[in-house]
Amino acid sequence: MNRREFINRTAALFAAGAIAGNEALAVQTANANSGRIGIQLYSVRNDLPKDFLGTLKKISNLGYSSVETYGVNDDKFFNHTMKDFRAILNDMGMSMSGTHASSGILPENTNAPEWDYWKKMSESVVSGGGIWATQSSFPHGRQDPDTSQLKRITEHFNRLGEVCKKGGVKFGYHNHTREFNKVDNEVILDYLIKNTDPELVFFQIDWGHAVRAGADCLHYLRTYPNRIPMWHVSDFNSQTEQYTDIGKGSVPYKTMFSLPNTGGLQQLTVEQETEDDIFGSLKANVDYLKQFEWTKG
């Protein structure tokens, strides 16, 4: 089951919804946990349905300061309104950075419901105290898009950016591996970055996926400064061809964190791609990331 299928199924099962907020609201949210290490809650997707509050408490106790939701629908996340979810996080010393969402965004989907979906999503993000609304996967069918389809997708992204901006949040895009394929001799992700408005569209690069696809992480940070304000911190070992704990794979995090201003990084979010001993891995990730000055805030 891929991420989009999981998100859609979760939304149907739990009437999950996202709430988020604008930047001022995010600043006002009390955050007892020190540091700037967030987590995508998809990492603990197997635990949340069993013990929602207990799972969040474990995450807080590990030192994560923010969470990113998924499976958003009808302004609820696992049957909690986003306003209530925000209060739950606040009591645990955490805040919500934003949410992953997926509305399809195929090139032909340009009708009103598409814009309404993101308008409502923006309202939920504001309610939850977040500022980021991120398209979680590539809008494609079974085949890679051609240049004309890519052009329509970037136009679509720009319009979604306008919708979200009016709603008080920022629209962005999260990659997997397919975005590093080439169309007409240009990498899809590079095309998306070059042809979207930097005032309307940000990118959240998942570095583990990037390395798995054979991409050069430093190329993106150096070539597109300030277009990648969000990092999905995961790791992939190119030798074993397996996802692993952060710092144990092939993503050059030590070099990446040493760059001036760390490439415009504003929000760091861990996504653990393994499932064995998930909380052991999440603790190891925090312990590894604490060495970098940026994460200390």
Q: Is residue 31 predicted with pLDDT exceeding 90? A: no
Q: Is residue 192 predicted with pLDDT exceeding 50? A: yes
Query: Which is more confidently placed, 189 or 106?
Result: 189
Helix (H, G, I), strand (E, B) or coil at 120: helix
Q: What digits encode the pLDDT tens for the residues 2-15?
A: 555 544 444 444 33
What does the pLDDT read at residue 163? Answer: 95
| Cα–Cα distance measured from residue 264 to residue 172, given in angstroms and rounded to the nearest whole number | 15
Q: Is residue 128 predicted with pLDDT exceeding 70? A: yes
Q: How many CA atoms lie within 13 A of 19 on its CB side?
A: 22
CB 208 within 8 A of CB 273: yes
Other CB atoms within 10 Å distance of the CB of residue 115: 16
At 279, which amino acid appears?
A: F
Nearest in space to 168 (alpha carbons), one of 206, 126, 140, 128:
126
Phi/psi for 10 (5° steps) reads -65, -40
Q: What digits encode the pLDDT tens for the residues 70-116?
A: 998 999 999 999 999 999 999 999 999 999 998 766 656 666 777 88
Helix (H, G, I), strand (E, B) or coil at 244: strand
Mean pLDDT across 186-194: 97
Confidence of residue 141 (pLDDT cuts 50, 70, 90): low
What does the pLDDT read at residue 14? Answer: 39
Q: Structure tokens of 138?
A: 């590539």
For the chain, which domains are there?
A: 3-296 (3.20.20.150)
Q: Is residue 140 predicted with pLDDT exceeding 80? A: no
What does the pLDDT read at residue 25? Answer: 34
CB 205 within 8 A of CB 161: no
Q: Is residue 144 predicted with pLDDT exceeding 70? A: yes
The CA-based diameter of the chain, rounded to the nearest angstrom, is 51
Q: Is residue 17 predicted with pLDDT exceeding 50? A: no
What does the pLDDT read at residue 33? Answer: 81
Q: What digits encode the pLDDT tens for the residues 229-288?
A: 999 999 999 999 999 999 999 999 999 999 988 889 999 999 999 999 999 999 999 999
What does the pLDDT read at residue 44? Answer: 98
